[in-house]
Amino acid sequence: MKKASRIAFVGFEFLCWSFIGWLYEITLTFIAYGRYEDRGMLHLPFCPIYGFCGLIVLLTLGRIENKALFFAVSTVMITIIEYVVSYILDKCFNLWLWDYFSWKFNLNGRVALGSSLIFGALSLLMIKVLHPCADKIYEKLPNWLSAVIGVCSAALLICDFIFVIL
């Protein structure tokens, strides 16, 4: 990959994983409750925790070749992140954005075995299938377009965060 566009690519992937997370959330809610419910706290269709987790997995575990080991480590890592973020949102901002109390094998309603396994599978899909495809597409883009995509991705999220905070 072109070194000059690596940062832009990271921004673009953050946006992609955040959008995929939002799609997962609304689909799960629709299946569970039979209605559309916007998920997340932003105005745009993004759940940033998926973007952050996706990048953390990509940057820390991306070189693990053994799929079973990758699945296990990413599942544990994302479960810990999800628990910590849930706790911080609850204690610092009085926000409870997800609730696993009705799921079997949950821990204080903040995480559950079923969701953790789903996130491990999504991580495996992301690293072994989606990331390589995105990498190939992005590699073909000229540097200027890579930079524009990265800057626009960052600008979208920053503006949305600002509108939510205000």
Render pLDDT for 123-164 as a digit per residue (tens, 0 to 9).
Answer: 999 888 888 888 888 788 887 887 788 788 888 888 988 888
Question: How far is C-alpha 101 from the chain's CA centre?
Answer: 22
Name which of 89, 82, 77, 84 is nearest 41 in CA terms.
Answer: 89
Question: How far is C-alpha 124 from the chain's CA centre?
Answer: 13
Question: Rounded distance, CA 34 to CA 37, Å?
Answer: 9
- Residues 95-119 have a mean pLDDT of 92
Name which of 29, 32, 165 is nearest 97 in CA terms.
Answer: 29
pLDDT digits (tens, 9 = 90+) for 70-102: 999 999 999 999 999 999 989 988 888 888 999
Q: What is the pTM of this model?
A: 0.84
